[in-house]
Structure formats: structure tokens, C-alpha cells
Amino acid sequence: MYFEKIPSDTLKINDDFIKDIVNSKNIEDIKLSADKIKKDTNVENITYAMLSGSVLESKIPNIFTTYSEEWQNLYHKNNFIKDDPTVKAAFHRALPTGWNEIKCETSREKRIMSAFREYELGEAGLILPLRGLRGEFGILTITGPSKNLVDNRSQYARLFSQVGTCLHEWFAQQAGLRTVTEIPKLSLRETQCLALYAEGYMGQKVAEKLKISEAAVRLYLTSARHKLLSQTTCGAVATAIRLGFI
């Protein structure tokens, strides 16, 4: 299993901003963190929505966005979410998807995408489907200049997968779907072993890199798989990446 290595000099988000999301008390705190992240990454808008049925039927907030009030009112008034092609794409794809990859199949879908651009929400958009620890489904959308999101798509996808995961878990907690203690915590060694596997290193090479025994590597990987509820190391690596651990 191969994961692209991201150069060290690429886009980064201040770790404090991520911690701010995790420790947010309300939507206003989330907005403050999002505004900082936007400035850090040259993104124009950030939108997160929890789309699991149980959450949609409850009265707790299930969406956050930095879009203008004017656009939000129009979106809700016209019930765009029912035919929003970006939401449809998130349901049918597991990987990040650019707006330029979406094929509108109906006139209403075309109208919605035209409205996105008419209201100048961003030249381009990137959609990140999200799955929680219990399968809760959500979507993170970022918009911005085409030169950023299209030319540097893999970097933005990698960067905002961590932001999306943090927002996804925060909303899941607000909905009472889990407590803070249910989110797994990996040790430094567990994280290091998974990160090296993600880069393509195997048992002996991981041991050499970390200057520990192969037996220790197997032990750390076993405990990491247990914490991440995965039967395979590849599955644990995928979950660790999705949760922003590596």
C-alpha cells in the first residue's frame, strides 16, 4: 500500500489551530479556528456537515460554514442540500473530489453549481468525505482560487483531512454519539511505527529506523491495530491518516 510523501516545505496548519477545534466549546469557537486556518492556507471558505441520519433528525447543530449569511439563507430557502451535486459526490466517493470532477446530471444540479460561482464562494472546491469511528458520515468542503486547490490538490487534501477529522469528531461528541474518552490515543512509538509503514517501510526497516527490536515493532503495531479497531496494519494506517494521527 502506497501513500504519497508530502515534502516538508509544503502547506502547514499551526498545530494550535487544530487543538483549538478539539477544545472548542461552541460553534463560535469553531468559527474563530476556521478563520485562522483560512488565513494560514489561502482558503476562502470552509464548510463541514454531519450527514448521518440520527444527527440530521436531532435538534443539535449539524453544520458549520464560513459562507456568507446571504448564501446560507439562499441555500436553505431553496433546500439545495437535496440536489447539491457536491453532497452527492461525497456519498458516492471515498476519496477527495474536486468540483471540476463533478458531472451535473440535472438542470437543478447545474443551477446549484452556477449559484456557487455566482455568489463568488471560490473559483474551485475540494470535497472530503469523512467517516467517524462508528461509521458516522460527514463532508468537509473547502473553496478557494483554482491555482491553489487544483494545482496543489494532494497537499490540500492531506492538510484538510486532519481538519475534517477534528470537526467530524467534535460534532459527533456534540451529538452524544461518543465521549472524548472513546477517541483512541496512540503512543509516540505506535504513531512512529504506523507512519513508517505508511511511507513503505516494513518490519526490519522500521526497527532500524527507530533503533528498536522487530519484536517491539510488532508489539507497537499490534496495540495500534487494537486501539484503531483494525485487523490489519494497512487498515490501521488508513484509520490513523483519516484521524490525523500521521
Domain ranges of the chain: 15-180, 184-242
* Predicted TM-score of the model (pTM): 0.70
- The pLDDT assigned to 155 comes to 84
- The pLDDT assigned to 10 comes to 56
Q: How far apart are CA 116 and CA 95, in angstroms?
A: 22
Tell me the H-state helices in 78-139.
85-92, 107-118
From 3.40.50.300, 3.40.50.150, 2.40.128.110, 3.30.450.80, which CATH number describes the 15-180 domain? 3.30.450.80
What the block records as the C-alpha cell of 113 is: 453549481
Residue stretches of the chain with pLDDT short of 70 = 1-11, 53-61, 133, 178-183, 229, 231
- The pLDDT assigned to 60 comes to 57
- The pLDDT assigned to 82 comes to 87
- The pLDDT assigned to 59 comes to 55
Give the DSSP letter string of 162-207.
HHHHHHHHHHHHHTTS--GGGS----HHHHHHHHHHHTT--HHHHH
Q: For 184-242, CATH number?
A: 1.10.10.10
